[in-house]
């Protein structure tokens, strides 16, 4: 048995991996309408393995709805292709099993269970019935590694509900890691974190993104500038601009949308 390596070597880069056949997430014509209101309008989006893509845009631009649509939470039309497999229209848990994982704006961990139990559940959808009916013995290697990565080894037996806010967000990321998702969709992972916690989270994202398809929704432009390898700007449900941080910041359309909202500079 080889020790699992949740953390690859290397850094993410714009455009993703340059060797072999990188995995990808290809979104085409994605449209979500609620009762006639079009929240996501014909969105095309490509994220390649090894790219750390940030999704930014003003409030109500449809960022979270895109993730909701990709993960099957809201019905959508169009196509979402994960490395050759169409995932749109499948059930939420089937999509998750195809290697698409997500986090939520408000950290949602199982508060009545311990940190270890949270991670163990995340690691286990492939378990057989017989394994499920047995008591957990020891700690899975992947779970142990995730505990170390997210810095919660000493809190392993603590109830997740008693964790600090930032720790809950990290626990969620840890759950994504042990879930072995190839596609990571993170919804505002640093909301409510201190500056130190943000930096650590950013470093963590850089480390895990090198071998995964990563899409992060974020508002904080300082954070985006520091850690993104590429950025997609969304406004009113449509893709406005795409490219490196510098490119989108120089884009006239983007500046127009953000004018007066003070979104691009500062907070």
Q: Which residues are at the interface with other proteins (CB under 8 A)?
A: 34-35, 71, 73, 91-93, 96-97, 101-102, 104, 108-114, 116-118, 120-122, 124-127, 131-136, 156-157, 159, 161-162, 175, 179
- How many CB atoms within 10 Å of residue 75? 12
Contact 246, 225 (CB under 8 A): no
Using CB atoms within 10 A of its CB, is residue 98 exposed (0-12), middle (13-18) or buried (19+)? middle
Closest separation between CB of residue 19 and other proteins, Å?
29
Contact 157, 186 (CB under 8 A): no
Closest separation between CB of residue 131 and other proteins, Å?
7
Closest separation between CB of residue 101 and other proteins, Å?
7
- Quote the CA–CA distance of 242 and 43 in Å, as a whole number: 12
Nearer to other proteins, 12 or 62 (CB): 62
For the beta sheet containing 85-86, the strands, ordered from the edge strand earlier in sequence to the opposite edge, are 37-48, 24-34, 77-82, 85-86
Nearer to other proteins, 121 or 264 (CB): 121
- Quote the CA–CA distance of 187 and 209 in Å, as a whole number: 15
Nearer to other proteins, 164 or 246 (CB): 164
Nearer to other proteins, 13 or 165 (CB): 165
Helix 115-122 vs helix 141-149: crossing angle, to nearest 10: 120
- How many CB atoms within 10 Å of residue 14? 17
Nearer to other proteins, 38 or 73 (CB): 73
Closest separation between CB of residue 103 and other proteins, Å?
9
Chain length of the chain: 267
Closest separation between CB of residue 34 and other proteins, Å?
6
**DSSP-based three-state secondary structure for 66:** helix
Closest separation between CB of residue 183 and other proteins, Å?
12
Nearer to other proteins, 101 or 263 (CB): 101
Q: Six-digit token pair at 94?
A: 């089937």
Closest separation between CB of residue 181 and other proteins, Å?
9
Nearer to other proteins, 39 or 52 (CB): 39
Helix ranges (DSSP H) in 194-234: 195-209, 221-227
């Amino acid at each position: 048995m080889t020790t699992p390596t949740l953390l690859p070597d290397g850094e993410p880069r714009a455009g993703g991996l340059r060797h072999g056949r990188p995995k990808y997430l290809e979104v085409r014509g994605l449209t979500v309408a609620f009762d006639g209101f079009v929240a996501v309008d014909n969105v095309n989006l490509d994220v390649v393995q090894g790219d750390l893509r940030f999704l930014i845009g003003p409030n109500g631009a449809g960022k979270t709805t895109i993730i909701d649509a990709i993960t099957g939470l809201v019905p959508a039309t169009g196509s979402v292709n994960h490395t050759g497999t169409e995932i749109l229209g499948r059930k939420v848990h089937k999509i998750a099993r195809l290697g698409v994982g997500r986090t939520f704006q408000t950290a949602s961990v199982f508060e009545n269970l311990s940190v270890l139990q949270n991670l163990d559940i995340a690691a286990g959808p492939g378990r057989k019935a017989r394994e499920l009916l047995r008591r957990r013995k020891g700690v899975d290697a992947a779970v142990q590694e995730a505990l170390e990565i997210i810095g919660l080894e000493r809190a392993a037996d603590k109830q997740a509900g008693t964790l600090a806010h930032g720790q809950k967000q990290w626990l969620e990321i840890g759950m994504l890691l042990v879930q072995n998702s190839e596609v990571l969709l993170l919804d505002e992972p640093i909301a409510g974190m201190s500056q130190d916690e943000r930096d650590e989270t950013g470093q963590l994202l850089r480390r895990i993104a090198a071998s995964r398809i990563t899409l992060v929704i974020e508002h904080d432009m300082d954070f985006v500038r520091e850690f993104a390898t590429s950025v997609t700007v969304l406004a009113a449900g449509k893709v406005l601009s795409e490219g490196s941080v510098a490119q989108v910041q120089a884009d006239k359309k983007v500046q127009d949308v953000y004018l007066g909202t003070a979104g691009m500079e500062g907070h």
